[in-house]
Chain A
Amino acid sequence: MSNMLEVADLGHTYGDYEAIGGLSFTVRAGELVCVVGPSGCGKSTLLRTISGLIEPSRGDVSLKGSHLAVVFQDYSRSLFPWLTVQGNVEFPLRSLPRAERRVRAAEALEWVGLSGAARKRPWQLSGGMQQRVAIARALAYRPSLLLMDEPFASVDAQTRFELEDLLLRVRREHDTTVLVVTHDIDESVYLGDRILVLSGSPARLVADLEVPLPAERDQVTTRTDEGFVALRSKVARLLNVGKPSMDVEKWAEAERESLSETVSS
């Protein structure tokens, strides 16, 4: 499988503050990779450098294919209230002829189950539906990489499950490469084919974990699966959840060692 995204020694500093300290990883075509890290660890900076919104201080980001789409956490600000749902989905497609735009938008809205809401305004929909519009807009753009920034952090738990399953279905059906940035450990395990665990600021890669779960996932059975529970605990330990902060670097080193042992064994 070819690499869709290659990030090499990516670093970013704001003045004196180092937000990202030398990250290297790849995302293969068709893969769904979750980036998980403690809040304020520079995940957003990572996403902004990958999406080209800011120029990284050092390192390289290379994307195969020319364009990527981003689904932001704040759907109500990301959608344009003066456009209809359909207008929003067509927003990135203005360079295409009108007929093709229509077809692509209708298609993408069908994928997310919102064909009936095409003529509505985004603010007339519930939060979960608005985020589905944002996902449809990203998909209609046919990106080589779909970036998602805490995409389900602003909706209630029930809707969150629905949206997670929607994302899994849509990306399976359309073979989309996805990179999800999240602070939610359960979500990263549930969604991901792979999980990149970051340490706190500056963000460094602590671990790159394969998720040993079948592609087909289920909100009830998957979350009680032994593999799920074990991986969740591992990620939680890596993230130092529930413990007071200590020498992160030393501890991460120890964790890495223990991991390489388990992988090789």
Chain B
Amino acid sequence: MTKFLQRWTVFAGLVAVWQLLGWFADDPFFPPPSKIVSAAWDWWVLEPENFTGHVVPSVVRLLSGWVIASVLGVSLGLLLGRSDRAMEYAGPLLVFLRSIPPPALVPVFLLLFKAGTSMQLATIVFGVIWPVLLNSVDGARSVDVTKVDTSAVFRIPRWQWVLGVVLPAASPKIFAGLRVSLSLSLVLMVISELVGTDNGIGSQLMQAQREFDYTRMWAGIVLLGVLGYGLNTALLAVERRALAWQPRSRDEQHA
């Protein structure tokens, strides 16, 4: 209980301060939280088609983009990480590609995929694959020599080597990468919805902005925050289960 208080006191305090300032200032650009919450209620709860028509597609996009990037990133990363030479060839290319801000590529993806889901997915995948990929490479390289020797001596089959040794050995680093890319997915989901689409949280944000409906805009921003927090919490819970095998001391470092 005390821990709960500790975690939320600052947050609640800031919301309260904002509420007070909002009342006094009465600025249309910065509505108080109470107005934002009631706008959100009107918008998504009283009109559920707004929820199913905008929020759900956005979340589906975000998650599918992240899952595709994760599967690609982990498999490619483990492959590159366990190969002696591959990173020497691919390394500079990866650093180059990673350095390109994904929003800059939105026009390219628009040309390649036309406006719509595939262009949005491409933007998300290209934007979030790097943390997973590079962490997987790093993790795959960190399998220690004695474990490599042990596996070689027992002549385990290839699949067991990859799934039973390399993957679990790399998993702490992979999860660190997965978390970074999950929060990046949220950013790129919004960016991918700013052009060429009329559904999704991102496009609704743009629309609210154009109509000077700042309360609604804020409601959208808060929703993104809630989404990000929820997704991160869910992934942390999965990670804690998946990495439960780690010795305690390392667990603490992780938290």
Do the beta carbons of B144 and A92 come within 8 Å of each other? Answer: no
Give the interface size bracket for B toward A.
20 to 34
In this assembly, does A161 line the interface, its C-beta being within 8 Å of a C-beta of chain B? no
Is the beta-carbon distance between B154 and A81 smaller than 8 angstroms?
Answer: no
Inter-subunit contact B245/A121 (CB<8 Å) = yes
Can you name the residue of chain A whose Cβ is closest to the Cβ of B171? A82
In the bound complex, how far is the Cα of B154 from the Cα of A123, in angstroms?
21
Contact A92/B146 with A81-B246, A82-B245 known, Cβ cut-off 8 Å: no
Q: A135 → chain B, closest Cβ, in Å? A: 13
CA distance A123 to B247 in the complex (A): 7
A95 — which chain B residues lie within 8 A by C-beta?
A: 157
CB distance A94 to B157 under 8 Å?
yes
Q: Please give, as numbers and ranges, the residues of chain B lying within 8 Å of A77 by CB-CB distance.
A: 144-147
The answer to whether A68 has its CB under 8 Å from any CB of chain B is: yes
Residue picked from A51, A82, A91, A141, most chain B C-beta under 10 Å: A82
On chain B, the residues within 8 Å of A91 by CB distance are 154, 156, 164
Q: Which of B157, B165, B171 contacts A80 (CB 8 A)?
A: B165
Check if A67 sits within 8 Å of B155, measured CB to CB: yes
Contacts of A263 in B (CB 8 A): none
Give chain A nearest CB distance to B162 CB in angstroms. Answer: 13
> Helix, strand, loop or mixed for chain B's interface?
helix
For A92-108 the 0/1 string (1 means CB < 8 A from B) is 10110000000000000
Whether a CB of chain B sits under 8 angstroms from the CB of A6 is no
A69 within 8 A of B: yes
User: Does B152 reach chain A (CB closer than 8 Å)?
Assistant: yes
- Closest-by-CB residue of A relative to B151 is A91
User: Could you tell me the distance in whole angstroms from the C-beta of B248 to the nearest C-beta in chain A?
Assistant: 9
Q: Which of A51, A52, A70, A80 is B147 in contact with, Cβ under 8 Å?
A: A80
Between B154, B164, B165, B247, the greatest number of chain A beta carbons within 10 A of the residue's beta carbon is seen for B154
CA of A66 to CA of B19, assembled, Å: 76
- Whether, in the assembled complex, B160 has its beta carbon less than 8 Å from a beta carbon of chain A, the answer is yes
Residue interface mask B150-170, A partner, CB < 8 A = 1: 101111110010001100110
Expressed in whole angstroms, the Cα–Cα distance for A92 and B165 within the complex equals 12
A-B contact count (CB 8 A): 54
Residue in A closest to B246 when the chains form the complex, CB atoms: A81
Quick check: A82 and B147 within 8 Å, CB to CB? Answer: no
Contact of A72 among B149, B169, B247 (CB under 8 A): B149
Contact indicator per residue, chain A 50-82, by CB within 8 Å of chain B (1) or not (0): 011100000000000001111010100110111
B153 CB contacts on chain A under 8 angstroms? 51-53, 68-70
Q: Which residues of A contact B165 (CB under 8 A)?
A: 80
**Bound Cα distance A77, B143 (Å):** 10
Q: Interface on A for B, CB 8 Å cutoff?
A: 48, 51-53, 67-70, 72, 74, 77-78, 80-83, 91-92, 94-95, 121, 123, 141
Q: Contact residues of B with A, CB < 8 Å?
A: 144-147, 149-150, 152-157, 160, 164-165, 168-169, 171, 245-247
Known: A69-B153, A77-B146. 8 other contacts (CB 8 A): A52-B153, A67-B155, A78-B147, A82-B171, A92-B154, A94-B157, A121-B245, A123-B247
22 A–B contacts from the bound complex (CB under 8 Å): A51-B149, A51-B153, A52-B152, A52-B153, A53-B149, A53-B152, A53-B153, A68-B153, A69-B153, A70-B150, A72-B150, A77-B144, A77-B146, A78-B146, A78-B147, A81-B246, A82-B171, A91-B154, A92-B154, A94-B157, A123-B247, A141-B154
